[in-house]
Amino acid sequence: MENTGNNIDPKHIEDPNKPSKPIETDYEKHQEDPGPSPEAVNEYDRNGASKVMKWIIPILVVALLIYWLAFRNA
Residue 36 lies in a domain: no
3-state secondary structure labels for all residues of 60-74: HHHHHHHHHHHHCCC
Q: Provide the pLDDT confidence category of residue 8 given band limits of 50, 70 and 90.
A: low
Residue 71 lies in a domain: yes
Q: Which domain holds residue 72?
A: 50-74
Residue 40 lies in a domain: no
13-51 pLDDT per residue, tens: 777 788 877 788 887 887 777 888 888 888 777 777 888
Mean pLDDT across 57-73:
93
Number of domains in the chain: 1
Half-sphere exposure (CA, 13 Å, Cβ side) for 58?
5
Residue type, 56: I
Residue 63 lies in a domain: yes
Residue 17, classed as helix, strand or coil, is: coil
Residue 19 lies in a domain: no
CA–CA distance, 4 with 1 (Å, rounded to integer) = 9
The answer to whether 52 and 59 have CB atoms below 8 angstroms apart is no
Residue 66 lies in a domain: yes
